[in-house]
Amino acid sequence: MTDFDAIIIGGGHNGLVCAGYLAKAGKKVLVLEARSVPGGCAATNEFVPGFKVSNCAQWLYQLSPAIIKDFKLKSHGLSFAAENLATIALDASENHLRISGDSLEGAGISSEDHENFRVFRRKMRKYAKLMQSAYEARPPKLVEHDWRDKFTMAKLGLGMKGLGKDDMSDLMRLILINIFDVMNETFASEQLRAALALDAVIGTPMGPRSPNTVFTYLHRFFGETQGFTGVSQVAGGLGALGDALSQSVTALGVEVRCNQSVTSINKTHDKATGVTLASGENLSASMIVSSADPVTTFRTLLGYSNVETGFARRIEHIRTKSGTAKIHLALTALPNFKGLDEAALKQRLIIAPTMNDIERAFNALKYDECSDHPALDISIPTLNDPSLAPPGQHVLSAIVQYAPHSPKAGWDSLRETFLDRVIGEIERYAPGISDLVCGKELLTPSDLEADFGMTGGNWHHGELTMDQVLMTRPAHGATQYRTPINGLYLCGAGSHPGGGLMGLAGKNAAQEIIRLGDAA
Amino acid sequence: MNTANRATMMLETPFHSRVKELCQINDWGNWMGFTTPNAFFDVELEYFAVRSTTGVFDLSPMNKYRITGPDAEAYLNKMVTRNVSKIGLNRVGYTVWCNDAGQVMDDGTIFRLGPNDFRLCSYQRATDWLLWCAMGFDVSISDETDHLAALAVQGPTSCTTLTQMGLHDLNTLKPFGMREYDFEGEKLMISRTGFTGDLGYEVWVSPERAEPLWDQLFEAGRDYLIKPFGSYALDIARIETGFIQAGVDFVPAEEMVRPGRTRSPFELGLDWLVDLEKPLFNGRKSLIAEKEKGSRYRFAILNIDGNKPADHSFILKGDQQIGTVTSAAWCPTAKSNIAFAQLEMPEGGVGQEYVAEIYYQRELHWTRVLAPCRVLDGPIFNPKRRRQTPAIPH
């Protein structure tokens, strides 16, 4: 007899979601989380005494409403401090652009661009809807002729046909090209182009001119099919989402243990049998489901010596680069952004004046250097949620594009310089902000890797490129959440459909495991 | 870049000065970029040296890798299909290795020099694959190809010749055993192995001792009619004794371009090399599946009527083409016309009779022969002396 039916490695949102669905199916499930709190990248941290911030993911914009409903997350404490925020693209001459759903305000946007924007979004919505049929199911394999996969492919095919001839051929054209070209051919306003291009590259080690960035744009846009027309802010920080999920699945009978770092996955012949913890404790289960990224799962936890070489080689080849850092500032007062009132500061602010600025920022990453003028995605969460800081004081959090995982000079010597550089960038739009800073923190890709166990610090657990999605995510031999090892499954962002606090990888994995039944 | 497929022969073996001297007909071939003789003076006479006296073949171009470290045995056990733990100290084992799909990448020999010290000889350049296989193992791998010169000394008088050269009590060395002797102030390693199916040895020395070895060997073997032989003569000998060759009888799996053109060990008649009881090795899952589902092809040794070698022939059953020939030769000692064929399952059972469709050309005139043939139950040449220990003197 085993201790559990299933042990889930990693109590991030995907691990918890998978655990919850398995518990609903009657399984006895244990979740092992290495960090002190559940939630993984849905985390809140007090980075300066009295100042809290969502210290990994910053926004929520893709979480499946089905998951919110299935786990009654709202009754387990999930509430939104703000929903569907507008994006305000900052302009040095205070001619800011406000983007909210289909509407554009300011920045002297021409009437043609207003119309272009509506048309563009209508088309993107159609494409996102098409992706939805693939994202909400296991990825189809092409050669096995399984009827479920044929059904998914047929749905995709019908969806393609349903786009109409023009939109279908345009999708085929767009999907492999880059957001830079698409923006140039679609809009006249550089400010608008840059604002949308930032969405395509954020969280990726790609620049606007990199091929594949239309796909990453669509991946983010997929959130619209989940009911998000903008980013949302979780009350109490994203850790509250982790807590709500953890509470909910605990109520379903799942045991969630934190501070339990798994050091190895144990197996006999080709069947996974359990895990060993850092404490030396061994736990057994009839199946092990890893929400750790695939490289960590196979290289570190299982060991390449335990899988066949071709498979090990494919896992080792998964590209897991990141160019994304986080910066957190504790502020003694609300900063003054030129030309923005308090209501505006509650929104999502971005600094990415032109696509060339983003591209230049990206150039540095290619040589493992930090951007001179990084592009920023800023949140002042305390305006929507004062509980995050002492009264009257504020927190500023920003996603920073681009910072390398391993700069040649090493992060020790660069950390302060880069922090100051980022603050300097914000200072151009918010004069005097540096005088308000009473605490600061930079999380580089290598910090995020160390704290959240993501290889390379890549927040998708493996880059979202055309060769690493759908039936090739994470790699041949580990698609459809199964692995070469019987009883070992994957349920994290490294599996289809990828990361972004969506929960679908965990959900799809659970469905697949439940469907396999006794064969699992 | 694969030098094997290029016409250039840029490299010379440590024996080249001696080989060149004896290569009377200047028939040179390319072996992994090395200049090697196809024939020295006469293919049949070279072949008969192997079968009747002693033949010497320079196998220095063979790729040689040294694998050491605490995980060396575990590493090889994962890489190859057979159980390396069963290869004793100072013993040699023939094996194949597969990719994940259970398709043969190459064959070769493993020499166990210590508990965790091995030498792997392979047909293909293997560094890349050996290093990929090393992920997760504490092993170190080095290419010894250029650091070892080797001669195959094969034939009924080979033991006597080598003993004459000073390798005392060599006759007590068992097949697939190996032993060290002092030679010119260094160690010479000798293994009772070979590719001819006869009594024979392979002698391994540093490149610096290559020329003295050749000279002393030919001096010692003069009265025993020692002769060098080239790759054409070797080809006849290996076909006669049932040895397949990578790149000829199967496509190395990771070089394959067209799907379905590779072969599993079962499809090459090498079931005996596959130990499915081992918990993990590359290709195991696929090979278990193949066992359940059945193989696509069967390796067959065919005895073909007549004396026209059935090179590249189709094998017919009635009107139906059921297979093709990969290697063929008229085998003089067995006095048989032998071919290796890949036959579509379920064809190829022992004793089955088919027709080989043989094409040959005489003075620009192509002729077709439909030669009846029969599946043999094993290699046609398998003399007692090959295994006898002590090796019988001649």
* pLDDT tens digit sequence for A422-469: 999 999 999 999 999 999 999 999 999 999 999 999 999 999 999 999
Chain B residues whose CB is inside 8 A of the A303 CB are 136
Percent of chain A with pLDDT over 90: 90
Q: Which amino acid is at B380?
A: I
What is the chain B residue with the closest CA to A269?
Answer: B279
Q: How far is CA B240 from CA B39, B383, B387, in A?
A: 18, 11, 17
The torsion angles phi and psi of A77, rounded to 5 degrees, stand at: 105, 0
Do A348 and A199 share a structural domain? no
Q: Does any domain span residue A284?
A: yes
Confidence of residue A6 (pLDDT cuts 50, 70, 90): very high
The answer to whether residue A349 sits within a structural domain is yes
Rounded to the nearest 5°, which phi and psi values hold at A304?
-60, -25
Cα angle: B224, vertex B227, B230; to 5 degrees: 155
Q: How far apart are CA A279 and CA A260, in angstroms?
A: 8
Q: Which residues of A touch B281 (CB under 8 A)?
A: 308
| Cα within 13 Å of Cα(B23), Cβ side | 19
Domain boundary among the residues A209, A230, A251 is at A230
A326 and A315 share a domain?
no
CATH code assigned at A420: 3.30.519
Distance between CA atoms of residues A378 and A373, nearest Å? 15
Please tell me the predicted confidence (pLDDT) of residue B6: 54
Asked whether the beta carbons of residue B100 and residue A303 sit closer than 8 angstroms, the reply is no
Is A98 within a domain? no
Judgement on whether residues A157 and A8 belong to the same structural domain of the protein = no
pLDDT in tens, B122-157: 998 999 999 999 999 999 999 999 999 999 999 999
Instruction: Examine residue A145 and state whether it is found in any structural domain, yes or no.
Output: yes
Determine, for residues B285 and A312 on separate chains, whether the beta-carbon distance falls below 8 Å.
no
pLDDT of residue A520: 61
- The Cα B202–Cα A482 span in angstroms is 47
pLDDT value at residue B5:
52
Q: How far is A282 from chain B (nearest CA, A)?
A: 21
Cβ of A339 under 8 Å from any chain B Cβ?
Answer: no
Angle at A188 between CA A121 and CA A116, to 5 degrees: 25
Predicted complex ipTM: 0.91
Partner residue facing A305 (CB), from B99, B100, B137: B137
| pLDDT band at residue A150 using 50, 70 and 90 as cut-offs | confident
**A282-290 and A4-9 beta bridge pairing:** parallel
Secondary structure letter of residue A482 according to DSSP: B
Residue A327 confidence (pLDDT) above 80: yes
Closest residue of B to A301, CA-based?
A: B136
Strand partners, B337: B304, B330
- CA terminus-to-terminus distance, chain B: 46
Q: Which range marks the domain in which residue A215 is found?
A: 112-230
Residue with token string 């032998």? B338
In the predicted structure, residue B326 carries a pLDDT above the cut 50: yes
Chain B CB contacts of A477 below 8 Å: 100
Q: By a Cβ cutoff of 8 Å, what residues of chain B touch chain A? A: 71, 74-75, 78-79, 99-101, 129, 132-133, 135-137, 279-285
Q: Do B284 and A308 touch (CB under 8 A)?
A: yes
Structural domain includes residue A331: yes
Residues A311 and A406 in one domain: no
Interchain CB distance below 8 Å, B282 and A309: yes
Subunit contact A309:B79, Cβ cutoff 8 A: yes
**Residues of A in Cβ contact (< 8 Å) with B137:** 305
What is the model's pLDDT at position B8?
73
Indicate the number of domains in chain A: 3
Q: Report yes or no on A107 lying in a domain.
A: no
Best of B280, B284, B286, B288 to mutate (most A CBs within 10 Å, chain A): B280
Q: Which residues of B touch A312 (CB under 8 A)?
A: 132, 135-136
Sequential DSSP letters for B145-208? GGG-EEEEEESTTHHHHHHHTT-TTGGGPPTTBEEEEEETTEEEEEES--SSSSSEEEEEE-GG
Q: Are residues A50 and A125 in the same domain?
A: no
pLDDT of A156 reads 87
Q: Which contiguous run of DSSP H or E holds residue A451?
A: helix A445-452
Residues of A in contact with B284 (CB under 8 A): 308
Return the sign of the alpha-carbon dihedral for residues A202, A204, A208, A213.
negative
Q: Which amino acid is at B124?
A: Q
Could you report the per-residue pLDDT of B340-387, keeping only the tens digit for each?
999 999 999 999 999 999 999 999 999 999 999 999 999 999 999 999
Residues 255-274 of A with CB under 8 A from B: 268-270
Task: Closest CB to A269: pick one of B99, B133, B279.
Answer: B279
Residue B1 has pLDDT above 80, yes or no: no
> Is the residue at A87 inside a domain?
no
Least confident of A141-155, A319-333, B169-183, B322-336: A141-155
Cβ contacts of B129 on chain A, cutoff 8 Å: 309
A310 vs B contacts (CB less than 8 Å)? 99-101, 282
Give the pLDDT mean for A476-499.
Answer: 95
Closest residue on chain B to A307 (Cα): B280
Same domain, A163 and A210: yes
What is the pLDDT at residue A176? 87
Number of H helices, E strands in chain A: 18, 19
E strand or H helix at A134: helix A111-135
Say yes or no to pLDDT of B7 above 70.
no
Pairwise CB contact (< 8 Å): A308 & B279: no
Is A310 in contact with B100 (Cβ distance < 8 A)?
A: yes
pLDDT of B197-226, one tens digit each?
999 999 999 999 999 999 999 999 999 999
Q: What average pLDDT is seen over chain A?
A: 96
Looking at the structure, do residues A301 and A324 belong to the same domain, yes or no?
Answer: no
* Same-domain status, A382 and A446: yes
- Residue B3, pLDDT score: 46
In this predicted model, what pLDDT tens digit does every residue of B272-289 receive, in sequence order? 999 999 999 999 999 999
Task: Report the 10 Å Cβ neighbour count for B69.
Answer: 17
Same domain, A330 and A443: yes
Q: CB of B322 within 8 A of CB of B316?
A: yes
Residues A207-235 pLDDT 10s: 999 999 999 999 999 999 999 999 999 99
Percent of chain A with pLDDT over 70: 99
Q: Which domains does chain B have, with CATH numbers?
A: 3-60+148-229 (3.30.1360.120), 296-378 (2.40.30.110)
Least confident segment among A12-16, A61-65, A172-176: A172-176
Are residues A331 and A445 both part of a single domain?
yes
Q: Is residue A504 part of a domain?
A: yes
The per-residue pLDDT for A269 is 80
Kind and range of the H or E run holding A111: helix A111-135
d(CA B281, CA B76): 9
CATH number of domain containing A26: 3.50.50.60
A333 shares its domain with A432: yes
Q: Tell me: do A241 and A356 sit in the same domain.
A: no
Last residue of a domain, one of A452, A471, A496: A452
Q: How many CB pairs under 8 A join A and B?
A: 50
Cα dihedral B31/B32/B35/B40 (nearest 10) = -10
How far does A264 lie from chain B, in Å, by closest CA? 13
When CB atoms are compared, the residue of A270, A308, A477 closest to B282 is A308
What element of type H or E holds A155?
Answer: helix A147-162
User: Where among A425, A452, A479 does a domain terminate?
Assistant: A452
- Report the pLDDT value the prediction gives residue B2, as an integer from 0 to 100: 47
Helices (H) and strands (E) in chain B, counts: 8, 19
Which one of A309, A317, A318, A486 would you mutate to disrupt binding with B, by most B Cβ within 10 Å of its Cβ?
A309
Task: Kindly write down the DSSP assignment for every residue of B281-324, as one continuous string.
Answer: -TTHHHHHHHHHH--SEEEEEEEESSSS--TT-EEEETTEEEEE
Residue numbers of A between 475 and 514 with CB closer than 8 Å to B? 477, 484
Alpha-carbon gap, residue A50 to A42, rounded angstroms: 20
CA-to-CA dists, residue A92 to A106, A397, B9, B111, angstroms: 13, 20, 67, 73
Q: How many CB atoms lie within 10 A of CB A124?
A: 18
Give the one of A270, A312, A484 whose C-beta lies nearest to B136's C-beta.
Answer: A312
CA A472 to the chain's CA centroid: 19
